[in-house]
Structures are given as structure tokens and as C-alpha cells.
Amino acid sequence: MSTRFRLPALALLLWAASHVPSFAEGAVALGLPANVANDGVAIGHSDSHDTREGAERSAMDLCRREEQGGTKGLCKIVLNFRNQCVAVAVDPLFGTAGFGWAVADTRQAASERALTLCRDSSTPERRNACKIDGGGCDGTAK
């Protein structure tokens, strides 16, 4: 290929690469009542969307699907993130207060923080029951 065709082809390739969606938008929607043990909690998170609006819409849809009892109508966007990971931790026993979520640069860091928050919100006898119950990473995060 002659130089005459290589430069325009390279310019076109660079332009196309810069216009590919990054799919690195994330959001967290939360419906948090005054009493998690009595009313539960609703949470929706999304990652790897090409727009902030798409991430928020997806997180809100997921949160609203979980709404029940004391969480009805409480879902709202509480955080947007990019190139990060989200994790949710809960005590799986119905009627307990253990719940935590976190966003961090890595899946491990988000999981550790979510578990810590869950344990901190639990009663002493239920602290070790907290388990990761969802999460994901977007963009370049791992």
C-alpha cells in the first residue's frame, strides 16, 4: 500500500476507535427505609452502559423490581460511577438488618467494603452471616 493511502486509512482507523462507546457508565439506585430489619431494602445497580442515563434507568428499573412493603417508592439514584466495581452484601436471613454496598476500583475492594458495612449494620450474633449478593465491574475495572 502506498503512503498516499496509508495515512488516510490510519486517520480513519484512529477516528473510528475514538468514537466507539466505552461502556463504562454505572449507577446505584437505593430504596432504604428507616428500618431495614422490618422493611427490607431495595437496591439496583448497573454497569457497563454507554451513557449515564442508560445506567441510571437500568439501576432504577432493578431497584423498583425489588421494592416491597416499607421500600415502596423509595428508590432513587445515590451514585454514578465509571471504571469501577460495585458489590452488595446482605445477611440472607429474612428480618435481619445486615446490609451493605460499596463502589471501589476493584471487585475485591468493593466486596470487602460491602461486607464490612453489612457486618457493621448487623447484630453481633449475625455479623458472620453477611454474604456478597451481587455486583459487577465496568469499563477497565476488575
Check residue 24 and give its pLDDT. Answer: 86
Give Cα separations from 81 to 27, 34, 122 (angstroms): 6, 25, 27
> What is the pLDDT averaged over residues 107-116?
98
Residue 47 has pLDDT above 70, yes or no: yes
Check residue 5 and give its pLDDT. Answer: 44
The pLDDT confidence band at residue 141, using thresholds 50, 70 and 90, is confident
Check residue 104 and give its pLDDT. Answer: 97
Our CA angle for 134, 128, 79, nearest 5°, is: 35
Check residue 26 and give its pLDDT. Answer: 95
- What is the Cα–Cα distance from 99 to 121, expressed in whole angstroms? 6
Instruction: Quote the pTM value.
Output: 0.80
How buried is residue 35: exposed, middle or buried, by Cβ count under 10 Å (0-12/13-18/19+)?
Answer: exposed
> What is the pLDDT averaged over residues 101-111?
97
Domain ranges of the chain: 23-137
Of 61, 65, 70, 68, residue with least CA distance to 27: 61
Dig out the grid coordinates for 69 from the structure. Answer: 412493603
| Tens-place pLDDT, residues 1-41 | 444 444 444 343 444 444 444 578 999 999 999 999 999 99
| Tens-place pLDDT, residues 49-90 | 999 999 999 999 999 999 988 899 999 999 999 999 999 999
